[in-house]
Structure 1
């Protein structure tokens, strides 16, 4: 999980800029798409209207050829005569063919002109070239509907059986002088001629988009492209319910001079419908928008790539700036970690950024206050600790004095002057070592001397034979230990470990060693007395001696150093004291000595 401020700043910068770039790109592209689509639609629609108007001249030229033949007076007269013999029919047929041929030759766009009539049915051998029976025209599926509705019009694109070409035809009814229908003129134009006309207008080849030609009634006359290549055309066209023609779907059927963008199958298309030309024909055009915006999409991709590259290149710069901005915070975090470790004299430098300068000032003030409070607490704790130690020492010193002075008193009454002198000397030695200039630690040799003085006093007081042995290596005697920690256990051994009959022998041993790792001093005090009862424990006892020693060891050395008392398997009791190794007197260095001026005064 990302938690570093510099990393968060860089990530936020990248995300914000990426979102900004994406948003700007999207909004720009959307606005550009909407704006340019509207502009392109208007310009393309204008061009389509112009093309429809130009197409009007082309279709008028074709329809005029058919009308000219249908309303020509000589043609009407030909169909108004009754043929009395084959020769007259042949002459009239040739004359009709000449008229058709002459008109056809004048119109370069016309592929052929055909006349469908039953007027020569009595002479079937006359039907050839441009003259065909009317029944052949009825084979076209669109003819019946066409004949029933209009006198002239355009037939949709179809295959001409005589030429084998796809044609678009203009059909005109032929009437005789008595207004009877005697036949039909069919003017054929190759479909490619219509497409060629669109090419001439620089629309088809340049854009390669489908056009749909709609006649006056809205029926589809021609299409420039295959529906297989442009399936969208199937979505726009539908079969008319009353004719064989196809027409635009109802949504667009009556619309003119109209444009719209639609989406179909994840593709966008522009639908254009021209206004009617002079012949009331319309052009419909379908444009695939994605092709129009191919260059635009490449430009958008280029902008995104450039923007992304700029963001990536800016990451090191942003990281450097973030590192520079967060550098004071880094220093402050390091300073706080030092404060956590107890180093309260840490101070931060001032910063020219106002917020950092305020934080720095508050931090420096906080560390000063903490340092002051910690020193005050430590001083109070040291004073309290010293008071507790003095109280503990004051508990044990009267205990010594009372017992020893009582014994000196009785010896004096017995006029045993020599013993009194020795006891006074030992007492003086114990008091000197016990006071030790107010120090809490003395060398182990002095502690052993203090215990020896106590044992010598007890030898003079008791009648039993006391065997006192000390086994301590010389190198350990120079180590420092808390004072008066051996004598109370010797006193308890004499008081509770033996019955003190005259014949009883008292054995006491004091040994000192180092532990296996040479990290602690271990002092053993052993006797051969009666030991302790099975359920005995130090926690349940209220005596002064043992409790006093344990509490002083905890205060001096820490609670992981202690006194353990146990019964030996061979009988008697063993006291084990664990202490830290002090090669110099702890009372002369550290806060223990510096903050106890009263001790120095004593």
Structure 2
């Protein structure tokens, strides 16, 4: 208590804490400055890397699209550069020549064009030569690409001469002029067409068209490699120079405040198609772009935190060197105050703390020796009380036993007389036990059996006894003579009528042994139970025999062990004895099994 009072009177911040606080402040400043600049460098690098990766992905998508577009251009080249088709289309002869041109040249050519690709492609050809017949299919308002690869359409050019898209078609440059455009019902069906003239190749570098071709493909086929694989919320779209969106995938950026809000929330990256006015545009949420930056921030924060923790640990080790020694001394002194004198203080080196620890250790060792001496004295006193108890019990017990022996001899019951004398001799031999206080569990049970055998000779069939003991208990030892006093109490106070049943049980519960003496006698009142459970030093209230057994158990094993009594008037009494498991050397299994068999 003196130490606590002193600590409360002198409240101050120890020098070790002051040193530690200043050290941590300086360390934290350096870690924050380093972390800030490192994070700035890493984040900028991560953002640039992300943008480069997206740009490279868009370029790859563009190349894939151009490859598929060039495949369609290749199909148009099969007719654009075919001199045979041009020669047939220049001849305006009817009859057999027109029929032959159509069946022998045009139709096979159109079929070969459709079969030279595995993509869905629709072919429509418009001819100025009206001597050739029109050949076309009825699609019933359905998508012509439903029949792609199986059919084609052949019309006269006059059908489209008034169409806006034909009138606005650019001037011809040989081998170069072609337009990708959504015409007719392409927008409705999700298609796009390659538009191109058919030129009269007989004239060098002629721009005079003799026909017009239209190759239609699915937008989904042409742009199937366009995928917003850049994270959640991204979108990719194809826009023309006029702002028309040909194709789009992903979540389109939407904002109530218009384009400014979109630019603020999204990173837009564009990839032009070069010779075309198309653009491949991706809109990526800046939150996704900053994903790697956030990882860098977390990594920087983690490294900074770990570094700071390392510095904290070093600071604690340095500033807490002396305070830990003082804490160890205080901790050991607290344990001494709580009654634990086993701890000692050990410091390496030769300094003031080592001198203090040696002095405290010597003082505690001396105090522990004195306590042990007092403990041994009290233990011997209790053993003397036990001997006194036995001295009081044995003469009366011996007198009653000798009277029973006399009666047996008088009536000539030689066998019973022999058995009683043997049990009496066994009982006293076990009671003496060569002066030892601690005996095997089997010996205690054997002594209780010998006592009950003697009593059965007196009470005959009026006394029933049953032993139920776990054999695992036989490898332990216990304080002697703790069951017999309770058996004697049953025979002295528990009779209810002319019969009484006694059951002795034993079992191992965790690291403890539990014995129970149970009878079906008259039981006890609440006042009697309260008196028996009274404080050990209250001789007038607590029974002497019960108090003696309880004190002996607690002296040997501590306050956590002892005797508890449960009883109900008219039903019976149960006495529970709790002891710790203490190993012994000699086995006594056979002996106790024999005891159980005798009473079953």
- Per the normalisation by structure 2, the TM-score is 0.40
Larger-gyration structure (1/2) = 1
